[in-house]
Amino acid sequence: MRCTLTHPADSFPGRVRRAPLCNLPQHQYLRCDIDDGCTLHPLTDETGATAASVSPDGKYLYYFVNETKVGGGRLTLKRVNLDGSDRQTILVVDAPLEDTRFRPSHIYPLSTISSDGRRLALSAFLGDGQTPDAPFGLMVFDVEQATVRLILQGPTWCNMHPQYCRSTDPAAACDILVQENHGNVATADGAITQLVGGAGADIHVIRDDGSDFRDLPWGRDGNEACQGHQCWRGRTTWAITSTGCRQPSEAQLIEGKPAPHAGHVGSRTPGGVRNDLSRTFPRPHFYHFATDIAGRRLVSDAGTLNEHAQIYLAELGAPGDEPIRKFTYLFSPKSTCAKGAHIHPFLSPDGTLAFFNSDESGLLQAYMIRGLPDG
C-alpha cells in the first residue's frame, strides 16, 4: 500500500494569507511505501509544486507547478508515475482562461480528481491586482484533452475546498462539492482579510461543466453554522459536514443530500434532507473527519481542540436515516491543535488504516494507526 505525503501550505490560515511554502526549494511531494517499512520516495523536485492528486487507479500523481503572480505568470499541470518515472507536462496556463480575461494566481493547495481519473478541479484567485471585489474561481482540467475551463467564479469563492464526488455513476461522478464563504473580504491583490462573515458559509454542489448548481441543507439559520469541514460519504451521493451550534452548544456531524438551489438559506433549504449522525453521542464536538470509500466507517477528531483532543472511529448506519451505530475511542494524539497542527484524521480507502497529524514531539508529523477494530 502506498500513500502520498504532502505539506501544501498556501491555504488560508486564520484571516490572512501567508507566503506559500510550496515556493521553497525544500518543499516536495513524497510517496510513502507502507508495505516497505514506510520508506519515502520523492516524486517532485520543482519549486512551486502544489495541489497534488493521485489517480483513482493508483498509477499517477498529478500536480501543478505554480509560477503565477497576480494578473500573470504561469501554471503548469504535470503527471508522473508513482515510481517517479515518465514525468510529463500536460498543460501550461500562461494566458487568460478561455473566453475570459482572468489569469489564475494564489493557487489553492488542494486539487481534486474525478473518479474516472479524467478531470481535475482547482480553485484560484482571478483578480488583476487593481479591481476591487475581484473574483475567485474554479477551473476544471481535462487531462485527456489537455484543456481547462472556468466553471464558477465570484468574490465569495475564496476558500472553496472543492471535492469531486467519488461515485462511479457517470452523472454523479461529475459533481463537485464546493464551499461558499459569504461575508468574506479580500484585497485587490487577493489577500484574505476576513474569511467569512454574517450567517457564515454554505455548501453547494455543481457539475463540472458549470451546470446544475445545488444547495446542501446546512447552516446559515442563526443557530447552526458550517465549520468549513465537509466531505462525500464514500462513493455515495450523500455528504457530511461538521457544524457549530449555539443552542445546544455542540459541533455536530450532519449528513445531507443536495437539493435544488433556493438562495442561500442553508438548513432551511426547501426539500433538503438532513440526518444528524452524532445525535446519540453525548455533547458532540466533532471537527475534521473522513470516511472510507464504502461510506461505512468514519474517523474524526473530537473534544476540545487542544492537547486533550481525541480521535474516534465510527460505524455508519443507513444513509439519510440512522445515526452513527458505534463510536470507538482510539486515543489522544496530544497535538497542540494550533492552526498549523490540526489533527485532520482520515482513513485508507479500505478503512483498515487511519492517519493523522500531531506536533506532540515539537515537530509536526504524519502518523498511522494500524489494527483498527472490526466493525
Cis link prior to 42 (omega < 30° from 0)? no
Taking residues 260-281, what's their average pLDDT? Answer: 98
Q: Which grid coordinates are listed for 3? A: 500513500
For 190: left if phi > 0, alpha if psi spans -120 to 50, otherwise beta; the answer is left
What end-to-end distance do the CA atoms of the chain give, in Å? 21
Domain segments of the chain as ranges: 1-212, 225-375
Would you state the pLDDT for residue 4?
Answer: 56
8 Å CB contact between 369 and 330 = yes
Assign 25 a pLDDT band (cuts: 50, 70, 90): confident
Closest CA to 283 of 249, 256, 253: 249
* CATH code of the domain occupying 225-375: 2.120.10.30
Q: How far apart are CA 23 and CA 332, in angstroms?
A: 33
Assign 23 a pLDDT band (cuts: 50, 70, 90): confident
Q: Which grid coordinates are listed for 104? A: 489564475
CATH, domain 1-212, list 3.30.379.10, 3.30.565.10, 3.30.450.20, 2.130.10.10? 2.130.10.10
Would you state the pLDDT for residue 24?
Answer: 72
Taking residues 328-344, what's their average pLDDT? Answer: 97
Taking residues 317-330, what's their average pLDDT? Answer: 98
Say what percent of the chain tops pLDDT 90.
Answer: 92
SS3 state of residue 327: strand
8 Å CB contact between 213 and 174 = no
Would you state the pLDDT for residue 89?
Answer: 99
Would you state the pLDDT for residue 375?
Answer: 67
Closest CA to 143 of 174, 163, 117: 117
pLDDT of 181 over the 60 cut? yes
Q: What's the CA dihedral at 52, 30, 65, 235 to 10 degrees?
A: -10
Lowest mean pLDDT among 6-10, 98-102, 174-178: 6-10
Taking residues 110-134, what's their average pLDDT? Answer: 98
Task: Give the tens place of pLDDT for each residue, 97-117.
Answer: 999 999 999 999 999 999 999
Would you state the pLDDT for residue 5?
Answer: 54
8 Å CB contact between 328 and 316 = no
Q: How far apart are CA 104 and CA 71, in angstroms?
A: 7
CA 188 to chain centre: 25
Q: Which grid coordinates are listed for 312? A: 474516534
Would you state the pLDDT for residue 118?
Answer: 99
Size (the chain), residues: 375
